Amino acid sequence: MKVLRESRASRFRRMLYADLREVLAIEKRAYEFSWTESIFRDCIRVGYHCQVLETPHGFIQTYGVMSAAAGEAHILNLCVRPELWGRGLSRRMLEHLLELARTAEVQSVFLEVRPTNTAAVRLYDSAGFCEIGLRPGYYPAAGGREDALVMAKEL
């Protein structure tokens, strides 16, 4: 598998239905319990902020999905190609989604994260998100279900 270099020449753009084959391939490699194509299609269809960061050659490096309405936003998915983990791409996508939330005049941003995903918990903590609750049994897991930390950030 070819390793893609992260470049500042990369650009953010809206996720398209045509991107779903590549997005799903990334999703399935990154998560044991991945989103389905129909979930992504529904998010695009209803107008959620579905974003990709791609190289000048059109390779998707990371993607994010966020809903925003009534002064609140919810980051639903943020994923990076596994071969590009540790290069700051999650932070770039998170900052981009937060900027979209500000543009939409959002006051509060929420998300759920697996407590076992320590890299993501550290990222959100360093970005100013605070733990505000726990959703018991929220995520499917190999041994049954896993709780979710609920985190929030005021903009």
- Of the residues 48, 63, 124, 139, only one is catalytic, namely 124
Q: Residue 25 and residue 46: Cα distance in Å, rounded?
A: 22
- Helix and strand tally (H, E) in the chain? 4, 7
CA 6, 11, 12, 15 dihedral sign is negative
Say which of 112, 138, 146, 154 is annotated catalytic. Answer: 112
124 is catalytic: yes
Burial class (CB in 10 A: 0-12, 13-18, 19+), 20: middle
Catalytic residue IDs: 112, 124
